[in-house]
Amino acid sequence: MTQFLSLLLNGISLGAIYALIALGFVIIFKASEVVSFTHGSLLLLGAYTVARLSDPLGFLPAVLIGLAFTALAAFLVERLIINQLRGAPVISLAIVTIGVDIIILTELIRQIGPDILNVPHPWGGDSVRIGSVGISENRLIAMGVAGVLIIAFFAAFKYSSWGVAMRASAEDGEAAALMGIRQGRVSALAWIVAGVLAAVAALFLVGAPTPGVSAAAYTVALRAFPAAILGGLDSTGGALVGGLLIGITEALAAGYQDQLSFLGRGFGEVAPYVVMIIVLLVRPSGLFGTKELTRV
Amino acid sequence: MGNITTDRDGAVLSVDSLQVTYGGAVEAVRGVSMEVPDGAVVAVLGSNGAGKSTLLRTISGTLRLHRGRVDAGTVRFGDLDLTRRDPGQIVRAGVVQVPEGRRIFGRLTVEENLRAGGMGNRDRAAKATALTRVHDLFPVLQERSGQRAGLLSGGEQQMLAIGRALMASPRLLLLDEPSLGLAPRVIGQIGEVIAEINRQGTSVLLVEQNATMALGVASAAYVLDVGRVSLSGDARELAQSDEVQRLYLGHTGASPEQRTERAPRRTLSRWTA
């Protein structure tokens, strides 16, 4: 039971991080009608920036610059590429984002090299015990920060002018344009928010129990894709539920891998994709997705 | 809003020799000229494909979303050239459209729809005034403010679409077939609402297939036919003209016997031969 609770708690904290990434993925889809595969490399960019700048500048300034830099990169991708291609088929745009992703990723891997860059989190790699359940401090803080950001995000999405403009233009872009809502601005802002969320996720993903920033952080980010898709690509609530579901599945599958050994070792890493496939077989548009995604 | 000056004829909107094509080939509007005098309701009649919606898209700047292009001509709002401006600028200038088929945001609440309508309006005080005006015109929107807009009836949705546009405090309101798909009684109400909005000082360009309603509210009208203005003039005179009577008001010029005698025989013989 203790093991189960421990795995569950760790799964939730991991899931909260995935949810941050997935939320960005979903709002980009809603605002720009693009399935953005650049997210993995943006996340790695955030982690890399923080790791590189921590030494000369100190942790906090490095984090702030890392967030700003990732947001800027996301903004530039939107302005220079996605916005120029407005009206192109969804598939072409997705492929374009894969191309952008590969370009950024390749450069980052060249910079990082074979090393594992350390991010000097002030909270270090210690674990805390809550009752008999153990969790790394990093993951605990991640859960808190992600929780606050997710609540702030949903509040803004529901009540702010940006949220209303965003939902209106996601539902009917032309009608929104006729109301004077500037779709370009809504879309650019969505990319910026997604960039910040990805960088925050990166900050915690490269902390304990992960050793630091390496090219492997990218594959971790990829697990947020099934989170977004199984929640329903156009549903923010779905991204949250999907993120948690994937995080918990992964933690449980990894924790019980001895009992699951008939599935092969390392099942935890593929479990998110298995869950995604099963969910999509039952509900093709995801748990909370809109049935009809293609708008005329 | 009040600083738009009308040109020398007192027209708030003037369209001059407008030519529009889609995809570089299909000519939708071929040399249309028309005017909306300040403070007037002007109707544009025409069947499907006559170029009515294209005209409104051009005025509102959304042609680009349909791969359409202005090849020649101008659209002026007072002394401001609207041709090829983007939709946001046009809304801010004071020209707001209620699109065909209502196009309300069904997943947003009624209140959020109105909020979205006010996004082009930066002046807080003007927004508050606009909201009061909308609630006075359509009390039902106040009653249902927390409800999802998609759950409203067709007539209520049309009212919401008009209310949403009014949130931008337009000087000129463009309406694209507001009667579409509505019951006759509701169409009558929409007509009254348009007249009331106009009494409050907003000029209106009303595009319709329902000529009875449109000619009832409008002071002047234009008839579009395959991208050209085929008739224009005083609304009451147009309503009396043979062509409008025959094409849009359902009165046939020819007697029924004459019509049945001619047409069907040939097609029948072709099938029986």
User: For chain B, which domains are there?
Assistant: 11-240 (3.40.50.300)
**pLDDT tens by residue, A87-109:** 788 899 999 999 999 999 999 99
Judge whether A176 is closer than 8 Å to chain B, CB to CB.
Answer: yes
Partners of residue A83 in chain B, C-beta under 8 Å: none
More confident residue, A255 or B76: B76
Q: Kindly determine whether residue B108 and residue A167, on different chains, have CB atoms separated by under 8 Å.
A: yes
Which of the residues in chain B have pLDDT under 70?
A: 1-9, 250-273
Host domain of residue A151: 2-217
Task: Quote the pTM value.
Answer: 0.85
User: At residue B84, what are phi and psi to the nearest 5 degrees?
Assistant: 65, 15
Q: Kindly determine whether residue B62 and residue A181, on different chains, have CB atoms separated by under 8 Å.
A: no
CA–CA separation, B10 and B90 (whole Å): 20
Question: By C-alpha distance, which of B197, B133, B171, B134 is closest to B1?
Answer: B171
pLDDT at A75 over 60: yes
CA–CA separation, A70 and A41 (whole Å): 10
The Cβ of residue B179 has, within 10 Å, a number of other Cβ atoms equal to 21
Q: Is residue A256 part of a domain?
A: no
Judge whether A172 is closer than 8 Å to chain B, CB to CB.
Answer: yes
**Confidence label for A148 from pLDDT (cuts 50, 70 and 90):** very high
Would you mind telling me the total number of residues written for chain B in this entry? Answer: 273
Q: Kindly determine whether residue A164 and residue B112, on different chains, have CB atoms separated by under 8 Å.
A: yes
Q: Is residue A158 part of a domain?
A: yes
> Which among B104, B115, B119 has the least Cβ separation from residue A180?
B119
Q: Is residue A289 part of a domain?
A: no
Q: Kindly determine whether residue A175 and residue B165, on different chains, have CB atoms separated by under 8 Å.
A: no
Of A1-10, A39-48, B138-147, the poorest mean pLDDT is in A1-10
Q: Compute the count of residue pairs across chains A and B with CB atoms less than 8 Å apart.
A: 73
Please name the amino acid found at residue A267. F
pLDDT at position B255 is 44
- Across the range A121-143, mean pLDDT stands at 85
Q: Return the residue in A159, A174, A178, A293 with the most chain B beta carbons within 10 A, the one to mutate for interface testing.
A: A178
CA–CA separation, A285 and A181 (whole Å): 28
**pLDDT tens by residue, A164-188:** 999 999 999 999 999 999 988 999 9
Question: By C-alpha distance, which of B219, B217, B249, B212 is closest to B234?
Answer: B219
* Cβ-proximal residues to A220 (8 Å cutoff; 6+ apart), any chain: A205, A210
pLDDT at position B271 is 46
**Quick one: tokens of B26?**
């299909």
- Across the range A261-272, mean pLDDT stands at 79
pLDDT at A269 over 90: no
pLDDT at position B266 is 42
Q: Is residue A244 part of a domain?
A: no
Q: Is residue A27 part of a domain?
A: yes
pLDDT at position A2 is 83
User: How do B68-77 and B11-22 pair as beta strands?
Assistant: antiparallel
Q: DSSP for A249-265?
A: HHHHHHHTTTTTGGG-T
CA–CA separation, B270 and B273 (whole Å): 5
pLDDT at position A107 is 94
Judge whether A165 is closer than 8 Å to chain B, CB to CB.
Answer: yes
CA–CA separation, B141 and B42 (whole Å): 27
pLDDT at position A264 is 74
pLDDT at position A178 is 95
Q: Is residue A18 part of a domain?
A: yes
Partners of residue A295 in chain B, C-beta under 8 Å: none
Judge whether A116 is closer than 8 Å to chain B, CB to CB.
Answer: no
User: At residue A124, what are phi and psi to the nearest 5 degrees?
Assistant: 60, -160
Question: What is the domain count for chain A?
Answer: 1
CA–CA separation, A214 and A118 (whole Å): 9
Of A205-209, A231-235, B28-32, the poorest mean pLDDT is in A205-209
Q: Chain B closest CA to A182's CA: distance in Å?
A: 6
Beta strands in chain B (DSSP E): 11-22, 26-37, 41-45, 68-77, 80-81, 95-98, 172-176, 203-208, 220-225, 228-234
pLDDT at A155 over 50: yes
pLDDT at position B263 is 41
Q: Chain A closest CA to B140's CA: distance in Å?
A: 21
**Quick one: tokens of A293?**
């995604």
Q: What is the mean pLDDT of chain A?
A: 89
The answer to whether A248 and A199 have CB atoms below 8 angstroms apart is: no
Q: Is residue A99 part of a domain?
A: yes
Q: CA of B121: which chain A residue's CA is closest?
A: A180
